[in-house]
Chains A and B, each alone.
Chain A
Amino acid sequence: MPKYNLNINRAQTEVKVEADTPLLYVLRDHLELNGPKFGCGVAQCGSCLVLIDGEAVVSCTLPVSSVGKSEITTLEGLAGKDGKLHAVQEAFVKEQAAQCGYCLNGMIMSTVSMLNKNPDPEEDDIKKALQLNLCRCGAHTRMIKAVETAKNL
């Protein structure tokens, strides 16, 4: 079985896994990270997003063999070493922007990814950045508010 040396949350981790395994299963099943969630497996809902070199990428259809030496950041890797929340995490808590919270990983990852490129987005930019992300509880308006809050933190 092939081995992969992955750069996850600022640490090198070796996994032995079949080459076609999507990154999502490696993160969840092998590395016991619960941030990224399984939602659809077909890149339609955003539950499984992770940051790859700072950009939000769907992990449920991305074979582990294609990740290479890229820097992978999951929800668990966003907060500072001292436990201080990332501004986006803080903003989602402040705005109570969730109901069940299952989609929250994707929402936060899309937001961080957008703010990396555009630190001062307008509402339309926010909606565009979150367009892949589905939420069934209808917490969208709070999430938009949370992104607006995050850019000022």
Chain B
Amino acid sequence: MIEPAIPSRRKFLQNVGYISVGFSMFGGCIGKTDPAIAARFDYLGDLPRSMNQANQVNAWLEVSADGRVRVFSGKVELGQGIRVAVQMVAAEELDMELDKVTVHLAETDVTPNEGYTAGSGSIKSSAMSVRYAAATARTTLLQLASIKLELPIENLALYNGVIRSTVDKKSVTIQDLLEGAQIETEVKSPVQIKSKEDHKYVGKAIPREDIKKMVLGEQVYIQDLRFPGMVHARVVRPPNYRSELEHLDDSELNHAVPGIIKTVINGNFVGVIAEREYQAVKAARYLEMHSKWTTPEIFPAQEKLYDHIRNIAETPENIRDDGDVRVSLEQGRTLKATYTKPYIKHGSMGPGCAVALYHQGILHVWSNSQGIYPLREALAAMLKMDTEKIHIVSVPGAGCYGHSTPDDAAADACLLALDYPGKHIRVQWSRADEHAWEPYGSAIIADLEASLTESGKIGAWKSDIWTDSHSTRPNKDPGTLLAARYLENPMEMQSRGYRGGGHRNGDPYYAIPNLQLNAYYYDGPLRVTSLRSLGAFANIFAIESFMDELADKAGKDPLEFRLEHLEDQRAIAVIQKVKDLTADQVMAAGTGLGYAFGRYKNNDAYVAIAVKLAVDGTSGQVSIIKMWAAIDVGEVINLDGIKNQTEGGMIQAASWTLNEQVTFDQQKITSTDWSTYPILRFNDIPEVEVAVIDRPHEPVLGGGEAAGPPTGAAIANAIFRACGKRIYDLPVTPGKISS
């Protein structure tokens, strides 16, 4: 049996109680006179938002009886490597060896509530909270040791869990010092943190321990959980979003498939539970064949999608309006273009899965949800239960970088667990259901218009962005869970979620005196939510393609044209860096080198991308040869983490750009497997190179989503340089180039 480690945190706390340390902060830093101890300085800035409701050290870390430090993060592991980053900052501030620090990721009532693991925010919120909590813990431990050893703090040094006197032989371990209690000290500015010059781990490339488990098959994913007596379930999804069940005949199911435990029918929600997993697969197939559903026409014709979007959009909302765009656009040489991006899928390698157990009035849930606390609210509302009666453990799943199906699978498992209490119920989605029912990334239209002044600079710019919602993640609205909408008493989603993500990066980062951004929100036909970088991918594809068009119109080099419009030195530095990286490229006929820049959310990581590719003039086939990124995420935590994220971000975005769109007819989603929704395969994979500009004295910035958005535009710009064809509509299928 494999089970994730169930922590004894609550029990531990009940048994040992707390100590409260209320000393005033001692002044002064421990200098470099002791070789084991690095200098500290007072961090005077703001604390992360995650600390608003979890401002005591013990919310973030504990000292175990064996002297290890256990760190708590409310974030979940998606493949981004948050675990090692959190481990590194804690070990750094406490001057511990890495292997003495363990990390416990999201679990309700155990870790802090950090909302969703999203928006490139895990380092900024969680890792920084752990940094300040660990630094505060160190200060408290030294204060306690000062009393116990009767020595001034200046004569004490903490290293690897032992506080030693620097003047005599006295020492005490941190676990002996605490005697089983935990540190309740409030974390508040100023916090004495380690001097950046003395960092042993932070800023270095530290390998992830979980990769060793993965190669051995020992990493436990949500799909790998196994409990004694666990049973297997499948949900039979309707043919489309609005289908109604007319008839279902399961009278012969028991004869057709062995091991059937029960069929659960609740309105249009149909589930089946069996002893063995493949029995559940066969039972679901049987029920599909022995049921009849309505299949109304609910989608517009795919080729008319963008017209449909324009028809249904609301009146626009003005997001930004600098200067006077209307007058300025009339005065200069103007250029207009429309760019479109279709619905795309998260396309996780592991379809939705969850385990639930209803036992003694408590509903236990295992999920790879990106937000276990908000999921708990949604489940409680759907099931009409108290949140206190729901316990959720986060377990790693297959990555997908957005709100995909884990929460929906958890809702399925909970509904079935309440119907069949006392057993662990494992729900596994099929590939076809994952592809047809996951919430997608919104289709987006960007209408851009800009004018050039006499000197060839941009005088005015207008972006009109047409977008659906970019977050329908679970919250206290039960309709955010798929299954809730199909119950006998259906709970429709009450709001359209977070629509602001649609105009993310819709206004260029460039210095333009007259600048307007308008958002045209629409309530579209397909289910949508957060997908890596939200609207930024489509918007930067549009803006950075348009920048190349404007540069050409102004008769300027595209990179110089960008630099002329930038004032932020860090933006200039990443562009300069990719320029240097590609300076020696020799371009053969039919090849092109394209560039793009983006500052994610216009306030986060800086990225410049270069793409070298070849276009086959006859077939229109694009072959990417190499992609380069220069990225500035401020202070780097794990150098290999940000490199890995940037490499992967470029490759995923290349797949979106060249291959991906959700397809549908008027009744159904028709891209239901990897042949109808192809993503990049190895033959298409180019070389990648990432240059990281480390700025240890700058605040950390979120880097996980930053590389994708400019990649699409850099590919489009390279295609134009290679063959003179401007790409306005994604994906770049060969037919769009050869036509």
Q: For the complex, count residues of A whose C-beta is within 8 A of B.
A: 57
What is the CB-to-nearest-CB distance from A116 to chain B, in angstroms, rounded to a whole number? 18
A residues in contact with B277, CB < 8 Å: 25, 28-29
Q: Does B215 contact A (CB under 8 A)?
A: yes
Q: Is the CB of A37 within 8 A of B648?
A: no
- What chain B residues lie within 8 Å of A103 (beta carbons)? 349, 398
**Contact status B79-A101, CB under 8 Å:** yes
Interface digits, B399-411 against A, CB 8 Å rule (1 contact, 0 not)?
1110000000000
Minimum CB distance partner of B216 in chain A:
A79
CB-based contact A99/B681 at 8 Å: no
CA–CA, A43 to B346, complex, Å? Answer: 20
Asked whether, in the complex, the Cβ of A101 is within 8 Å of the Cβ of B214, the reply is yes
Cβ of A127 within 8 Å of any chain B Cβ, yes or no, is: yes
A28: nearest chain-B partner, CB-CB: B277
**Which residues on the A side are within 8 Å of B226 (C-beta)?**
32
Q: Is the CB of A47 within 8 A of B685?
A: no
CB-defined interface of B198-230 with A at 8 Å, one 1/0 digit per residue? Answer: 000000000110111011111111011010000
Given contacts A39-B350, A41-B431, A101-B211, contact A136 B682 (CB under 8 A): no
Docked pose: A100 CA to B208 CA in angstroms: 11
CB <8 Å contact, B644 and A142: yes
**A140 and B651 contacting across the interface, CB-CB below 8 Å:** yes
Q: Please tell me if B78 contacts chain A, counting CB pairs below 8 Å.
A: yes
Which one of A75, A126, A137 has the highest number of Cβ atoms from chain B below 10 Å of its Cβ?
Answer: A137
Contact A29 B688 (CB under 8 A): no
* Nearest CB on B from A23, distance (A): 11
CB distance from B372 to the nearest CB of A (A): 18
Q: What's the least CB distance linking B259 to chain A, in Å?
A: 9
Contact A93 B349 (CB under 8 A): no
Known A25-B278, A127-B685, A141-B688: A38·B220 in contact at CB below 8 Å: no
Residue B496 CB within 8 A of the other chain: no
Q: Is B131 among interface residues, defined by CB-CB distance under 8 A? A: no
Which A residues are CB-close (under 8 A) to B224?
34
Q: A32-B2, A34-B217, A144-B685 are in contact. Are A96 and B211 (CB under 8 A)?
A: yes
B647 in contact (CB, < 8 A): yes
Could you tell me which residues of chain B, from 452 to 468, have a CB within 8 Å of some CB in chain A?
none
Q: Is A104 an interface residue (CB 8 A)?
A: yes
Give which listed residue, B212, B399, B651, B652, contacts A93 with CB less than 8 A: B212
Tell whether A67 is near chain B: CB-to-CB under 8 Å: no
Contact flags A60-97 to B (C-beta < 8 A → 1, else 0):
00000000000000111001000001000100110011
Give per-residue flags for A95-115: 1 if the beta carbon is below 8 A from chain B beta carbons, else 0: 011111111110010000000
Interface of B, secondary structure class, is loop
Asked if B681 and A134 make an inter-chain contact with CB atoms under 8 angstroms apart, the answer reads: yes
- CB neighbours of B650 from chain A (8 A): 138
A3 to chain B: which residues have CB within 8 Å?
none
Contact B349 A135 (CB under 8 A): yes
A13 on interface, CB distance cutoff 8 Å: no
Of A1, A35, A42, which contacts B217 at CB under 8 A?
A: A35
B342 within 8 A of A: no
Q: Per a CB cutoff under 8 Å, which of B350, B431, B651 touches A138? A: B651
Q: How far, in whole Å, are A74 and B210 apart by their CA atoms in the complex?
A: 19
Q: Which residue of A lies closest to B645 (CB)?
A: A99
A44 in contact (CB, < 8 A) = yes
Cβ–Cβ contact A96 & B644, under 8 A: yes
A46 nearest CB across to chain B (Å): 9
In the assembled complex, B258 has its CB within 8 A of some CB on chain A: yes
Contacts of B223 in A (CB 8 A): 37-38
State whether A22 and B278 are in contact (beta carbons under 8 Å apart), knowing that A34-B2, A136-B679 are contacts in the complex.
yes
Mark interface residues in B337-350 (1 if CB within 8 Å of A CB, else 0). 00000000011111
Do A41 and B430 touch across chains, with their CB atoms under 8 A apart? yes
Mask, B486-524, CB within 8 Å of A = 1, is 000000000000000000000000000000000000000
Q: Give CA–CA (A137, B289) in the complex, Å.
A: 35
- List residues 1-33 of chain A with CB under 8 A from any CB of chain B: 1, 17-18, 21-22, 25, 28-30, 32-33
A134 and B79 contacting across the interface, CB-CB below 8 Å: no
Cβ contacts A121-146/B at 8 Å (1 or 0 each): 00000111011011111111110100
Neighbouring B residues of A34 by C-beta, 8 Å: 2, 217-218, 220-221, 224
Q: Contact at A99–B399, with CB atoms within 8 Å?
A: yes
Contact B215 A102 (CB under 8 A): no
Q: Are B210 and A101 in contact (CB under 8 A)?
A: yes
Q: Known interface pairs A41-B430, A139-B648. Does A98 touch B211 (Cβ–Cβ under 8 Å)?
A: yes
> Is B397 an interface residue when CB atoms closer than 8 A count as contact?
yes
Residue of A nearest to B232 (CB): A29
**A20 to B666 Cα, complex, angstroms:** 35
CB B224 to nearest CB in A, in angstroms, measures 4
B652 and A138: CB pair below 8 A? yes
Given the complex of chains A and B, what is the CA–CA distance between A135 and B347 in angstroms? 10
Q: How far is the CB of B532 from chain A (nearest CB, A)?
A: 10
**Does B447 make an interface contact (CB < 8 A)?**
no
Task: Decide: B207 and A29 in contact? CB cutoff 8 A.
Answer: no
Please, which residues of chain A bring their CB within 8 A of the CB of B679? Answer: 134, 136
Query: Which 7 A-B pairs rank lowest in CB-CB distance, beginning with the nearest?
Result: A100-B79, A138-B651, A100-B399, A138-B648, A35-B217, A99-B79, A102-B398
Given contacts A100-B79, A103-B398, 5 further A-B contacts (CB under 8 A): A29-B232, A32-B226, A96-B211, A140-B651, A141-B685
The chain A residues found within 8 Å of chain B, CB to CB, are 1, 17-18, 21-22, 25, 28-30, 32-35, 37-42, 44-45, 47, 74-76, 79, 85, 89, 92-93, 96-105, 108, 126-128, 130-131, 133-142, 144
A and B contact pairs by CB, cutoff 8 A, 11 listed: A17-B276, A25-B278, A37-B223, A44-B674, A45-B674, A75-B216, A92-B215, A102-B350, A103-B349, A134-B679, A138-B655
